[in-house]
Structure 1
């Protein structure tokens, strides 16, 4: 079993440090921008932790039954087929709300760009799960169009929450006269559609 253990966390932290140094030194990003990029990076690591790991490799049971299972037959490519209001339904939405909320903080993003990136992100997860299933010759996760639909809805909800947050933040900033706060100005500066 390949799990998201300390070695993968350490690798992720090393990559995060390298990424932050790159943003500061090569792209001259402000500290606030580096902070939100780091937050987004950590979010992506968490998504990988929940959607890809653990990977059941070197399992005798899997080796025994893998020849009897057609991986493609486990895929669901019919939208809304076999969809139920269970925990998995809500988890698929909750998983990507942070994507829709955090992505506009990195760069000025319209709803269209956020949704397109969210769809691409969700498809990438499903394809990675499918690829790993083929590599280990066992459908350890199901590739499902409903996951993509629900993830995209989560991204949309995250973007709506982002817009509501910025409206509230603008009102608070005006009421408390915080126009010179660098952190708030960065956030509000990313609020153009």
Structure 2
């Protein structure tokens, strides 16, 4: 956890400023237009998950034209090397786990936002997560910022998006099985 804080701790104040700005803008816009609170919150959380992902993945470690570009286009090689050749167990947890975990909120809030479009929802969410991750890898390749481009990141990020979808499905099914207070008072349990 300390290593994660060292790696991304500098982004926390920036992220908090962005969160505060988004909350203030959302408050004033929703108040002025009398928008549906649930929709506003879902949209804000989706935007914040995208901003958080971009801060972690595109924020330059080092910037300069002389930065080498490391590219891995062979699936699962990087994951295999990290899992079986790391001297410390925290390395695979950090590298692989963070790539997955980072996209879970994105998948969850994207699914929640688009849940009214039930047809092909899973495919839409997975494809959107894949394309968003691919976009990030292309940005990392095109801008010299000390980041590596890895097909494994696209795979792991897409898995994270899918896990966000699964999390929504599980919560949605649990919440649908709980009777509302109106049904309980009418004897429809």
> Could you say whether these structures have the same fold, taking a TM-score greater than 0.5 normalized by the shorter chain as the test?
yes
Picking from 33, 42, 53, the partner of 1:47 is 53
Picking from 107, 115, 120, the partner of 2:131 is 120
Aligned-CA RMSD value: 2.8
Taking structure 1 as reference, are residues 130 and 20 closer, same or farther at Cα in structure 2, changes over 3 Å only?
farther
Counterpart-to-counterpart distance in 1, 2:27 and 2:131 = 24
Q: Show the counterpart of 1:148.
A: 154
Q: Which runs of 5+ in 1 are unaligned?
A: 134-138, 180-193
SS in structure 2 of the partner of residue 33 of structure 1 = helix
Show CA shifts across 1:118-171 (max 9, x none): 1111112112222221xxxxx511010000011111111111111111110011
Q: Show the counterpart of 2:98.
A: 91
Q: Which runs of 5+ in 2 are unaligned?
A: 1-9, 84-91, 184-189
Aligned residues: 160
Picking from 166, 169, 177, the partner of 2:181 is 177
TM-score by length of 2: 0.70
Taking structure 1 as reference, are residues 7 and 52 closer, same or farther at Cα in structure 2, changes over 3 Å only?
same
Q: Show the counterpart of 2:171.
A: 165
Counterpart-to-counterpart distance in 2, 1:81 and 1:156 = 22
